[in-house]
Amino acid sequence: MRRASIGGLAAALIVSATQVAAQMPGAPLLQNAWASPGIVGAVNFGSGSGASVYGLAAAWASPTGRFQLSGGAGLRSGTAGTGSKSVYGVRAAIPFGGASSDVGFGAFVGVGGGARSSASSADSTASTTFIPVGLALGWRHAMGAARGFSVYATPSYFFASGGSNNGGLVRAALGVDVGITKTLGATAGVEFGQNRTRSQGGPSGTLFGLGISYAGGRR
């Protein structure tokens, strides 16, 4: 794998992994400090705040890797017998680090949300929306010509709304991306920080995420 693309191979957000992260309720907000030029798709799983999320995500980055746009959708299943509800997220990110540097950083903004059970009845639903703004700080290392890994931190602030329940939260996430081959990658991450009650759509407690990504085209 080219040194410049190691950090972005698995950076399609766990959705979710990126996953598309915490702006997609139930998944951690993970954003790498690098982006892999072209298109990357991912299958993701998230868990925490009394629910599990299964989703698909895709990301596109410019040929220079200086701009990334990603989005995803999935289903969130609660543990209280409230059934599955759809969730979504989209994000724009700008990596600022050098293409050949081991240390990188970037900035991002996103929006996401979905239906949730209302506080008054498990049979009724209300809408929750998250708008995160944050930074990505990362370090990467090559392992031969075709593999590598990166570790990164994602501190963020996001505005959360749901009916009359509006407010801001400060959260942080830690993630690891591993380039298994030139086209296949894996992501794992965890998010923690300030809480919002489950009846307001979360997040509360610690969120975990896993994802497998595939980078299309020639590498």
The pLDDT of residue 17: 33
The pLDDT of residue 11: 36
Q: Which of 130, 175, 173, 171 has its CA nearest to residue 150? A: 175
**Overall number of domains in the chain:** 1
Give me 70's structure tokens: 């990603």
Instruction: Give the burial class of 126: count Cβ atoms within 10 A of its Cβ; 0-12 exposed, 13-18 middle, 19 or more buried.
Output: middle
The pLDDT of residue 152: 95
Q: Would you give per-residue pLDDT tens digits along the chain (219 residues)?
A: 333 333 333 333 332 333 444 567 788 999 998 887 888 899 989 988 778 899 999 989 898 888 999 999 999 887 555 578 888 999 999 988 766 788 999 999 999 888 765 544 444 456 788 899 999 999 988 887 667 889 999 999 988 887 667 888 999 999 999 888 888 889 999 999 998 877 677 778 899 999 998 887 655
The pLDDT of residue 4: 35
Give every CB contact of residue 164 below 8 A, 6+ residues apart in sequence. Answer: none
The pLDDT of residue 80: 55
CATH code: domain of residue 206: 2.40.160.20
DSSP E strand boundaries for 14-120? 38-48, 51-61, 68-78, 84-95, 103-117
Answer whether 0.85 is exceeded by the pTM.
Answer: no
Q: Residue 39's domain spans which residues?
A: 3-215
Q: Which residues pair with 128 in a beta bridge?
A: 114
Q: Which of 209, 202, 217 has its CA nearest to residue 187? A: 209
